[in-house]
């Protein structure tokens, strides 16, 4: 789906039946691939060991009743009717809920938060009258800092379990599909054929990831649709042919009858039953941003849900008339032999589609974790220029492939894989339930009793399944716990050290007076070019720049302090991304630029970033001079800047809009087929958004529009200064741009605890040395890179 097209649809068109139907069809291949393949392994995992299929059929009817009510209560009632409404500007997932909570209550642990971030158009808040009870909950959360950390840990736990499911889902889906070969060969040959074939398919699946899902995405929806129609038809056939009265088992009475007879064994078998909801339920919420609420609701309610119920009823109808051993219970025994091979092919294709969805979701959630400073830096490749959000992370891709193959070879059966996957899925669902309860209170301003009812009802159901999964700890459930502990340790150590580094920078930044005092009298030289000093600070002069000047007494003629930061919104519109201001008087040629990204935004390439940053500086310079002229047109330049020599100017949002005026200087680059004209009209406030309109052309031209007509003799001194500043910026760009980045080494201060020394001195520094550096993440050319060594004592 083209997200840019989807974002520009007007409300009436997006809400139309035709559009919703098209999006619902497209969502089949992206959202429901994993959920739709769950009939392949649910009954096999449930009857693996804890319960036996008897002649009375009480077990199979009880399992069918549990499957029906589990699909009805959790995916349908909880997700479709409640959780999907807790979207963040149309985005869903764990980070969307966390973002919503952080915007409505000051519980975020992200550094460099600014009041200006709240002016973003995507930073919208609901403003009904707050109830006293909601305010008390909000105040309690904001007051206790330990709850901020607990909330972050809860979010990281859900994130880690999603990543763990990215390892388990491809393995169990493909393995279960290929297991259909067992009916066509002997047991001895089967065990030597299924594992290699599964591993081969997994290797091919991960090897094709770098092409991006958009290249084969148009195949996904037809495959899943074919599979859903296939299992629906098989279900109807089995119901009519074997047991037309199987619908009676949908009564909750059979659940109680099942538990009464099987007792502990029945409770433990719930670990297999919960696989009917798998990761697909959470995927409905996580992939909300690519579609719409109406589309996902329509697809699940009118197609996926009925197809799954028919499939499970059909299998139960067949098994009620046949009583094979536990080893022989599988999806394929209920498939007529005449269509078994076509069904096997469609099942393998559907399992690959389902695996693709969870792999792409894993890439997405790791990118979000990285943007919030909770994951070591990795290389993110945007695989599609048209479809937003389709990314590829090479390191994560190959790690997932190795782990998937290891799980397949190590477990060798759906029982252990199902136990592991079930625990991961239920943990994510519990996290979502807890976070949604907070959203109900803080964002929707509902009474705490409503949130408590939601938490107790759905939480109790999920805890029942979660407890059953925990009993399988030694039979595969240990794997997601081990993966989650390992990933949470990495993520928490990285986040903790990142916060400590920011606090160190904050306490050791130097004053603006120190920067302005630097000059020839101190032996400091201004060299031609533009120096981009990257820092996490949104104000002040970073310590790494002072260290740079101390060791090398020179800096560039045009100096820009760049802060690339994340804000708790999914997307930041391009017209609101850049905050630009001066550092000191205009004659110093120093600026500050804050570049804001949302947690789902993909960062720009360095070439387009550099040219766009310079264009924004040119726009800001014109805007700033015209603003000064409007506010105090008769004041001498030096006097007008005297009050700003000891402090930074306010930052202005610089967007992208066309201005009238005669172009005086042009910077031509063969970067984008785009032309941008610079010129400013009267603006009342520096916080007003200034927009640019792209005009088609062969080359990118950033025009610094300066009036040059017959009345040039009447130019004011201010216009002369404007021309001089733009000339300096042009000359500096032609001289070249240098990227000044900090190369940090962090160590714990003396007297720190053993745990902190281990985390900082060994854990964080090991991760820093073995992950991508900031220069690789920003894709800075080596010839333009200047690294400043810094030792952080935290």
Tokens of 128: 């009904």
What angle do the packed helices 448-470 and 132-143 form, to 10 degrees? 50
Q: Is the same domain home to 515 and 585?
A: yes
Report the run of H or E that residue 355 belongs to, with start and end: helix 340-371
* Residues 214, 221: Cα–Cα separation, whole Å: 12
Domain annotation covers residue 473 = yes
Per-residue model confidence (pLDDT) at position 633 = 52
Of 456, 474, 497, the last residue of a domain is: 497
Is the distance from CB of 77 to CB of 285 less than 8 angstroms?
no
Q: Is the same domain home to 556 and 619?
A: yes
Residue 172 burial by CB count (10 A; 0-12/13-18/19+): exposed, middle or buried? buried
Looking at the structure of the chain, the number of domains it has is: 2
* Residues 197, 573: Cα–Cα separation, whole Å: 46
Domain annotation covers residue 638 = no
Q: Is the same domain home to 111 and 223?
A: yes
Of 466, 497, 528, the last residue of a domain is: 497
Q: Is the same domain home to 478 and 623?
A: no
Q: Is the same domain home to 516 and 482?
A: no
C-alpha distance from residue 173 to each of 169, 354, 411, 413 (Å): 6, 8, 14, 11
- For the chain, residues with pLDDT lower than 70 are 1-16, 112, 125-134, 185-191, 213-218, 279, 325-327, 384-389, 604-607, 631-649, 656-716, 777
Of 497, 525, 550, the last residue of a domain is: 497
Query: Could you tell me how far CA 696 lies from the centroid of its own chain?
Result: 33
* Residues 455, 767: Cα–Cα separation, whole Å: 37
Domain annotation covers residue 652 = no
Name which of 527, 641, 536, 521 is nearest 585 in CA terms. 641
* Residues 573, 344: Cα–Cα separation, whole Å: 46
Is the distance from CB of 234 to CB of 311 less than 8 angstroms?
yes
Cα angle 141, 146, 147; round to 5: 35
- pTM here is 0.83
Q: Is the same domain home to 552 and 451?
A: no
C-alpha distance from residue 178 to each of 28, 200, 234, 332 (Å): 22, 11, 19, 11
Please state the φ and ψ torsions of residue 221, each to the nearest 5 degrees. -60, -45
Count CB-CB contacts under 10 A for residue 271.
31
Domain annotation covers residue 467 = yes
Q: Is the same domain home to 186 and 265?
A: yes
Per-residue model confidence (pLDDT) at position 251 = 94
Domain that holds residue 413: 31-127+141-497
Is the distance from CB of 562 to CB of 532 less than 8 angstroms?
yes
Per-residue model confidence (pLDDT) at position 711 = 44
Q: Is the same domain home to 163 and 279?
A: yes
Q: Is the same domain home to 286 and 310?
A: yes
Domain annotation covers residue 657 = no
Nearby residues of 300 by Cβ (< 8 Å), 6 or more positions away: 32, 75, 76, 80, 284
Tokens of 182: 């067992």
Nearby residues of 569 by Cβ (< 8 Å), 6 or more positions away: 88, 89, 99, 103, 120, 122, 123, 598, 599
Domain annotation covers residue 13 = no
DSSP 86: S
Q: Is the same domain home to 492 and 533?
A: no
Per-residue model confidence (pLDDT) at position 237 = 96
CATH of the domain at 150: 1.20.1740.10
Q: Is the same domain home to 464 and 524?
A: no
Domain annotation covers residue 413 = yes
* Residues 100, 81: Cα–Cα separation, whole Å: 18
C-alpha distance from residue 38 to each of 12, 35, 83 (Å): 36, 6, 22
Count CB-CB contacts under 10 A for residue 697.
13
Per-residue model confidence (pLDDT) at position 689 = 35
Domain annotation covers residue 392 = yes
Q: Is the same domain home to 481 and 519?
A: no
Per-residue model confidence (pLDDT) at position 570 = 86
Tokens of 480: 């997601």
Report the run of H or E that residue 370 belongs to, with start and end: helix 340-371
């Amino acid at each position: 789906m083209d997200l840019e097209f989807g974002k520009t649809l007007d409300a009436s068109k997006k809400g139309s039946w035709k559009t919703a139907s098209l999006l619902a069809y497209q969502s089949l291949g992206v959202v429901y691939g994993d959920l739709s393949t769950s009939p392949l392994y649910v009954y096999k995992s449930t009857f693996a060991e804890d319960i036996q299929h008897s002649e009375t059929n009480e077990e199979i009817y009880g399992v069918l009743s549990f499957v029906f009510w589990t699909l009805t209560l959790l995916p349908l009632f909880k997700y479709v009717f409640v959780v999907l409404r807790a979207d963040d500007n149309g985005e869903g997932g764990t980070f969307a809920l966390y973002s919503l909570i952080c915007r409505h209550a000051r519980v975020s642990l992200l550094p460099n938060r600014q009041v200006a971030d709240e002016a973003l158009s995507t930073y919208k808040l609901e403003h009904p009258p707050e109830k006293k009870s909601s305010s008390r909950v909000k105040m309690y959360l904001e007051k206790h800092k330990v709850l901020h950390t607990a909330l972050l840990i809860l979010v990281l736990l859900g994130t880690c379990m999603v990543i763990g499911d990215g390892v388990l889902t491809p393995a169990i889906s493909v393995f279960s599909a290929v297991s259909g070969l067992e009916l066509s060969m002997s047991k001895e040959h089967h065990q030597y054929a299924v594992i290699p074939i599964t591993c081969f398919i997994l290797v091919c699946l991960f090897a094709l990831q770098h092409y991006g899902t958009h290249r084969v995405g148009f195949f996904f929806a037809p495959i899943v649709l074919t599979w859903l129609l296939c299992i629906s038809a098989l279900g109807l056939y089995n119901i009519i042919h074997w047991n037309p009265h199987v619908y009676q088992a949908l009564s909750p009475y059979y659940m109680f009858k099942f538990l009464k007879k099987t007792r502990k064994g029945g409770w433990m078998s719930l670990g297999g039953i919960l696989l009917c909801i798998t990761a697909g339920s959470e995927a409905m919420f996580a992939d909300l941003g690519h579609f719409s609420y109406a589309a996902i609701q329509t697809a699940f309610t009118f197609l996926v849900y009925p197809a799954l119920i028919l499939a499970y009823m059909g299998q139960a109808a067949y098994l009620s008339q046949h009583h094979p051993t536990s080893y022989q219970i599988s999806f394929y025994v209920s498939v007529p032999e005449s269509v078994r091979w076509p069904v096997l092919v469609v099942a393998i294709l559907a399992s690959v589609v389902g695996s693709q969805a969870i792999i792409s979701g894993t890439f997405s959630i790791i990118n979000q974790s990285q943007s919030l400073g909770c994951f070591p830096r990795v290389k993110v490749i945007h695989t599609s220029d048209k479809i937003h959000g389709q990314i590829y992370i090479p390191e994560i891709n190959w790690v997932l492939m190795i782990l998937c193959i290891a799980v397949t070879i190590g477990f060798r059966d759906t029982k252990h894989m199902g136990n592991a996957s079930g625990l991961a899925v239920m943990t994510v669902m519990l996290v979502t339930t807890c976070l949604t309860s907070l959203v109900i209170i803080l964002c929707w301003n509902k009474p705490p009793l409503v949130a408590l009812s939601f938490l107790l009802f759905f939480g109790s159901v999920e805890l029942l399944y979660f407890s059953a999964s925990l009993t399988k700890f030694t039979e595969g459930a240990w794997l997601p716990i081990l993966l989650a502990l390992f990933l949470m340790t990495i993520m928490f150590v990285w986040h903790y050290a990142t916060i400590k580094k920011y606090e160190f920078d904050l306490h050791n930044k130097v004053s603006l007076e120190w920067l302005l005092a630097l000059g020839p009298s101190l032996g400091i030289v201004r060299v031609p070019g533009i120096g981009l000093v990257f820092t996490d600070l949104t104000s002040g002069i970073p310590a790494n720049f002072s260290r740079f000047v101390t060791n090398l007494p020179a800096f560039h003629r045009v100096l820009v302090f760049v802060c690339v930061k994340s804000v708790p919104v999914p997307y930041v519109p391009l017209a609101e991304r850049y905050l630009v201001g001066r550092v000191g008087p205009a004659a110093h040629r120093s600026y500050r630029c804050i570049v804001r990204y949302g947690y789902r935004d993909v960062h720009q390439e360095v070439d387009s970033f550099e040219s766009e940053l310079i264009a924004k500086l040119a726009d800001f310079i014109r805007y700033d001079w015209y603003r000064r002229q409007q506010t105090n047109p008769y004041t001498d330049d030096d006097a007008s800047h005297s009050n700003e020599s000891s402090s930074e100017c306010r930052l202005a949002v610089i967007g992208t809009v066309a201005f009238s005026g005669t172009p005086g200087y042009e910077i031509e680059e063969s970067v984008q087929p785009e032309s941008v004209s610079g010129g400013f009209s009267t603006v009342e406030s520096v916080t007003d958004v200034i927009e640019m309109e792209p005009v088609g052309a062969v080359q990118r031209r950033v025009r610094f529009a300066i009036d040059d007509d017959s009345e040039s003799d009447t130019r004011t001194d201010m216009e002369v200064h404007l021309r001089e500043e733009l000339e300096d910026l042009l000359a500096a760009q032609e001289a070249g741009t240098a990227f000044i980045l900090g190369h940090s080494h962090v160590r714990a201060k003396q007297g720190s605890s053993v745990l902190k020394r281990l985390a900082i001195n060994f854990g964080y520094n090991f991760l820093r040395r073995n992950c991508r550096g900031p220069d690789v993440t920003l894709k800075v050319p080596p010839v333009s890179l200047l690294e400043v060594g810094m030792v952080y004592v935290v």
